[in-house]
Amino acid sequence: MPETRYVFVTGGVASSLGKGIISASLAKLLQARGYKVTIQKLDPYLNVDPGTLNPYEHGECYVTEDGAETDLDLGHYERFLNVPTSQANNVTTGRIYQNVINKERKGDYLGKTVQIIPHITDEIKRNIKLLGSKHKYDFVITEIGGTVGDIESLPYVEAVRQLKWELGNHAAVVHLTLVPYLNASGELKTKPTQHSVKQLLENGIQPDVLVLRTEHELSQDIRRKVALFCNVDSKAVIQSIDVKTIYEVPVKMQEEGLDEIVLKKVDLPIDEKPALKDWKGFLNKLHSAKETVKIGLVGKYVELADAYKSIIEALHHAGTYNDRKVKIELIHSEELTDKNIADKLKGLNGVLVAPGFGHRGIEGKLTAVKYVRENNIPFLGICLGMQCAVIEYARNVLNLKEANSREMNERTSDAVIDLMEDQKNVTDMGGTMRLGAYDCNLKKGTKSFDAYGKPDVKERHRHRYEFNNEYIDAYAKAGMQAAGCNPETGLVEIMEIPAHKWFVGVQFHPEYSSTVLKPHPIFMAFIKAAINE
Ligand code: GLN
């Protein structure tokens, strides 16, 4: 077992270049060579975690098994590597400062002036090294959020500089930049990359590998030029050209030799190139699927597809394994009315109602649920989507016209969805929901049981409200039943309508645990039902 190697991934020139995908791809290639690999994201903002951020600000909040609310890049890490991440895989500036200030109050630095350097940088370094020492990974790939040159990123860049010095040939820095193409002159421009590397050098870091995002092939000449100006080997100038799907990136990075350059840099042998058989098998299936299945995704953040990242990816995984291309139609819940619903959902093979918080868009979600229920269209409701299914059934089938979730109307006469008992005294908003993986027992003969093919499952959660068990018999009598419950508390995890073709609402988030090589059973069954629609 080799000593832990540390790879740092920084970004320059522009944000949103896909550091997460490059990190995940490199990790995949190293994992395919038999190494134990993990990826960590350091986020330079002051929120302790992204749980309190609006999805418009930051995209989806991804939840790990251990209940951490994290950056959506962790979703990519899990989807690529097929191994769970944890709180240790996502650290923000807020958390770093919180730890340091807590230590200061405890007296850990007694007598000393607490400063950004060395105390904040030491705390950053401790969090990076923790994954290697505690969890015994061969590789820890640390992605530094933001762009080099940002004031906020400085302590992280300084921590990387120090670690690189300390770790010597057990550390490598991969810097991701953009090579823009100027249409008017028909030229690819490397100057922004040169400037961004200069910026890194000013901060004391010589990158070992440069990954250049580009829309056009980079010639050998361009690579040589970048190598010359940036003091790297020309083999270490790697092109990352736009591809149709992010899942092609590991294959492209292998062709470019990214893993081999990193292995050489950190003094590990370069054995045979892994075949990536399963991965390429998935890609083949993805590309060869001819028929399409059309899924409507009803939510209130549809202007920003990143808000539903894991759901969208989970749909594509399940579609691929069902030999279908998935066409996802993002439908704004605020635009749905009784009048236009038939038109808005026309031609869809299945409808998914998304998770969410608060009242906005709720009536449109209820309208969508009613329509698919009455028209026998396959339906998957996730978290708030499941709660909407429960409310709609109460209003239109149980005839409880005022039925609602306590979240939407505190004074409702029929709170079919109510605040969980242990949430009643919660005042802090950060990290206080029911979070992470909990057991769920499935009832035999239900669609969910058939989907999983086993009685006991564990799924991830992120909610404060739950199905109100006082109504469970009324629902059962009226044709909607609990198909899964938490064995300890009896909390309803799944509601189904047995008479419907496929109508499943889940309180948990199956999308978080769907991976490229392991599509999620609930999504698989939903797509299957949609195909046979
Ligand atoms: N707002 C709902 C709750 O807190 C649903 C949450 C969700 O969809 N993630 O219970």
| pLDDT, tens digit (0-9, with 9 covering 90-100), for 190-232 | 999 999 999 999 999 999 999 999 999 999 999 999 999 999 9
Annotation says 61 is catalytic: no
SS3 annotation, 397-435 = CCCCCCCEECCCCCCCCCEEEEECHHHCCCCCCCCCCEE
* Ligand 1 atom at minimum distance from 462 CA: 9
Residue with tokens 């399940």: 318
The pLDDT value given to residue 428: 86
* Ligand 1 atom at minimum distance from 382 CA: 8
Residues with CB under 6 A from ligand 1: 355-357, 383-384, 407, 462-465
Annotation says 509 is catalytic: yes
Give residue 533's pLDDT band: very low, low, confident or very high (50, 70, 90): low
- pTM, rounded to two decimals: 0.95
Q: How far is the CA of 507 from the centre of ligand 1 (A)?
A: 8
Give residue 1's pLDDT band: very low, low, confident or very high (50, 70, 90): low
In this structure, are residues 7 and 128 in contact, taking their beta carbons and an 8 Å threshold?
no
Q: How far is the CA of 234 from the centre of ligand 1 (A)?
A: 50
In this structure, are residues 328 and 318 in contact, taking their beta carbons and an 8 Å threshold?
no
Distance CA 36, CA 97 (A): 30
Annotation says 511 is catalytic: yes
pLDDT tens sequence across 248-274 = 999 999 999 999 999 999 999 999 999
Closest residue to atom 8 of ligand 1, CA basis: 355
For residue 144, the Cα-to-chain-centroid distance in whole angstroms is 17
Mean pLDDT, rounded, of the chain: 95
Closest residue to atom 5 of ligand 1, CA basis: 384
Task: Work out the widest C-alpha separation in the chain, in whole angstroms.
Answer: 75
Closest residue to atom 6 of ligand 1, CA basis: 463
Catalytic residue among 61, 230, 383, 440: 383
pLDDT tens sequence across 432-456 = 999 999 999 999 999 999 999 999 9
pLDDT tens sequence across 444-488 = 999 999 999 999 999 999 999 999 999 999 999 999 999 999 999
Q: How far is the CA of 465 from the centre of ligand 1 (A)?
A: 6
